[in-house]
Amino acid sequence: MTTETASSNPLAPAPPGFPACAQVDLGAISANVAALRRHAPTAELMAVVKADAYGHGLVPSARAALRGGATWLGVAQLTEALELRRAGVQAPLLSWLHVPGQEFVPALEQDVQLGVSTTWALDQVVAAARTTGRTGRIHLKVDTGLGRNGAWDADLADILERCAALQSEELVEVVGIFSHFAYADAPEHPTVRAQQERFEGIVEQAGRAGVRPPVRHLANSAATLTNPSAHYDLVRPGVAVYGLSPVPDLGSPEHFGLREAMRLLSHLSSVKDCPAGQGISYGHVYTTHEQTRLGLVPMGYSDGVPRNATNVGPVLVGDRRHTVAGRVCMDQFVLDLGPDSTARAGDEVVLFGVGAAGEPTAQDWAVAVDTINYEIVTRVGAKVPRVHLDEVPS
């Protein structure tokens, strides 16, 4: 039954041995990058593939992004950059979130560029440059008002002064200077203009200190799509690469020429008759109101289905939308399929996808559980197999 259901699916079947999978349409990732390039035609494009490519699978997603026209890849953690190099990815790579004591020698050896926002990070780049005999290529991360990662004030002045000296010794090359918005998803917010002005002021300050990085970058997905004045030399979209709208109130993915790349699906593990008045799942927070049929879905919060999808998470079974009935458990949840349901064990259950066949989208899940679409895709559990469609041979 499972095989029969899966093989009638136009996309790939679920892999055997695990009842759920996240299908990732790599063609969509390539097409989304191409669309983003059209939104920012004068800038280079760094596809952000941190967090396992927002849950879509690091290496295949990175390759798909490059195929779509990305000229750079960006990650938060150095381990992710090194994994891309081990897989043979040769594109320019930037990693930007580090801790003191972290070893930068492999970064320099593998030509991974490093985001530097602190004096200790600069010291460590210099140490790695001396060890390897290579120039450390860095992007200065400046805080223009996000109030998060990035240098400002005296630290910034200190870093700029030292970079000027280190550049002449060829220990460091300042390739880029970058910052991040606090309100990119609200393009009219006054902080957006203020951060851009601050950024431009810091670029001038750097120039006066003798540091003239050729690659200035500030725009995430939202600014790439809605704020051309923030594109500068390179844009850094993440969530939009995966076909999700960074500004759902301003436009759907289609509105921006994007398509959701991830489809999360499972199969009914059992279907049974149930009388009216039966409490469902832990704590009986749902009670059947009529004689009905219950479907059991073998996915739970350990697979990334939010526990607070209890009684609100939307799913598609066949051509019918249902809502999670009762508590989401660690590895399962229940659906009240209704008295006339013809669903059978093994039938496909789609948690989210592009929405074209009536299935919910990641954005629908975000609304249902009061979070953002970013969290819905990145939280899909590591044990849920990623099935990549349209994979480019390496």
Ligand X SMILES: *Cc1c(COP(=O)(O)O)cnc(C)c1O
Catalytic residues: 50, 282
Write the single-letter amino acid at 272: K
**3-state class of 246 per DSSP?**
coil
Question: Considering only residues 113, 195, 220, 245, which one is a binding residue for ligand X as defined by CB under 6 A?
Answer: 220
Number of chain residues interacting with ligand X (CB under 6 A): 12
What CA–CA distance (Å, rounded) separates 197 from 203? 10
98 is a contact residue toward ligand X (CB under 6 A): no
Report, in Å, the least distance between residue 7 CB and ligand X: 35
Q: Which is nearer to ligand X, 220 or 288 (CB)?
A: 220
Q: How far is the CB of 223 from ligand X (least distance, A)?
A: 8
Question: C-alpha angle 295/301/306, rounded to 5°?
Answer: 95
Contact between 221 and ligand X per CB under 6 A: yes
CB of 241 to ligand X, least distance (A): 8
**Residue nearer to ligand X on the CB measure, 216 or 322:** 216
Nearer to ligand X, 48 or 128 (CB): 48
Q: How many CB atoms lie within 10 A of CB 306?
A: 20
β pairing state of 21-25 and 262-267: antiparallel
Hey, how many other C-beta atoms are within 10 angstroms of the C-beta on 382? Answer: 11
Q: Quick one: tokens of 84?
A: 């891309």
Compare residues 23 and 179 and give the one whose CB is closer to ligand X. Answer: 179
Residue 386 among known ligand-binding residues: no
To the nearest whole angstrom, how small is the minimum distance from the Cβ of residue 145 to ligand X?
14
Instruction: Kindly identify the residues of this chain, within the stretch 14-53, that bind ligand X according to CB under 6 A.
Output: 48, 50
**Best CA proximity match to 366, nearest among 230, 183, 185:** 185
| Side-chain half-sphere CA neighbours of 365 within 13 A | 30
State yes or no: residue 66 binds ligand X (CB under 6 A): no
> How far apart are the C-alpha atoms of 121 and 96, rounded to whole Å?
10
Using CB under 6 A as the binding rule, the residues of this chain from 228 to 257 that contact ligand X are: 236-240, 246
Please indicate if the annotation marks 262 as binding a ligand.
no
Q: Which of 5, 67, 161, 2 is nearest to 392 (CA)?
A: 67
In the complex, which residues of this chain contact ligand X (CB under 6 A)? Answer: 48, 50, 96, 180, 220-221, 236-240, 246
Q: Which residues carry a binding-site annotation for substrate?
A: 148, 330
